[in-house]
């Protein structure tokens, strides 16, 4: 799948001109890609456009214009762009009260490994959490995680054939389930590569 490169970014000066229109485009794009699993759990599905926006905003806020520093930002966020056989998401655990959130996080260590996606009647796929991040903590979980849902050809074909897609959390402290809307599935289906093309390239 397409990844971000420096040539596809605006300079700081050009981004100042383009920012308002680009932000409106990205906010509209993000809307169906935000999935509330329950009152305290949200998935934000990332892709090329959301990561381009993230990098542009980081460069703007930090006033980064050196080539090496720009490449470092790209290297940080490119892994969050789907690879053609997966969905990638930021997983947020949200409580308005800080003390309530802290107590909740202490009750659910490992919850990030219990987030799942279901396609039709096929077995659930559990997410890989925090690739390349050292976040092992037996006493609590973090409020933000990065998840990767890997799909085989059968599941990708089913998603493209409009099979119902459900997502949820299989953890006693945050158990929940939801069915994705057709608009969300359509947006996420674009993150998946062509099944026939991958089969033919073997």
Confirm whether 1 is domain-assigned.
Answer: no
Q: Choose among 182, 136, 192, 142: nearest CA to 162.
A: 182
Confirm whether 120 is domain-assigned.
Answer: yes
Name the percent of the chain lying above pLDDT 90.
90
Residue 197: what pLDDT? 43
Confirm whether 78 is domain-assigned.
Answer: yes
Structural domain total, the chain = 1
Name the percent of the chain lying above pLDDT 70.
93
Spacing of C-alpha 101 from chain mean position:
22
Give 167's strand partners: 117, 178
Spacing of C-alpha 29 from chain mean position:
13
Confirm whether 156 is domain-assigned.
Answer: yes
Note the pLDDT tens digit of each residue in 4-46.
Answer: 999 999 999 999 999 999 999 999 999 999 999 999 999 999 9
Q: What are phi and psi of 70, to 5 degrees?
A: -65, -45
Residue 201 has pLDDT above 90, yes or no: no
Note the pLDDT tens digit of each residue in 148-158.
Answer: 999 999 999 99
Confirm whether 152 is domain-assigned.
Answer: yes
Confirm whether 49 is domain-assigned.
Answer: yes
Note the pLDDT tens digit of each residue in 42-67.
Answer: 999 999 999 999 999 999 999 999 99
Confirm whether 128 is domain-assigned.
Answer: yes
User: 119 is in which domain, residue-wise?
Assistant: 6-200
Confirm whether 135 is domain-assigned.
Answer: yes
Residue 114 has pLDDT above 70, yes or no: yes
């Amino acid at each position: 799948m397409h990844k971000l490169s420096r040539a596809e970014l605006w300079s700081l000066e050009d981004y100042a001109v383009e920012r308002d229109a680009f932000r409106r485009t990205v906010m509209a794009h993000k809307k169906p890609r935000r999935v509330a699993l329950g009152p305290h759990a949200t998935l934000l599905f990332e892709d090329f456009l959301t990561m381009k926006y993230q990098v542009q905003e980081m460069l703007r806020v930090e006033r980064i214009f050196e080539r090496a520093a720009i490449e470092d930002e790209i290297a940080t966020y490119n892994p969050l762009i789907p690879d053609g056989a997966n969905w990638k998401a930021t997983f947020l655990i949200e409580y308005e009260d800080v003390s309530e959130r802290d107590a909740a996080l202490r009750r659910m260590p490992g919850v990030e490994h219990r987030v799942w996606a279901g396609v039709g009647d096929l077995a659930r796929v559990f997410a890989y959490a925090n690739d390349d991040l050292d976040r092992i903590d037996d006493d609590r979980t973090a409020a933000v995680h990065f998840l990767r849902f890997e799909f085989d050809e059968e599941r990708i074909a089913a998603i493209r054939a409009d099979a119902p897609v459900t997502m949820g959390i299989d953890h006693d402290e945050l158990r929940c389930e939801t069915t994705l809307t057709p608009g969300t599935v359509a947006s996420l289906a674009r993150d998946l590569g062509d099944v026939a093309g991958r089969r033919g390239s073997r």
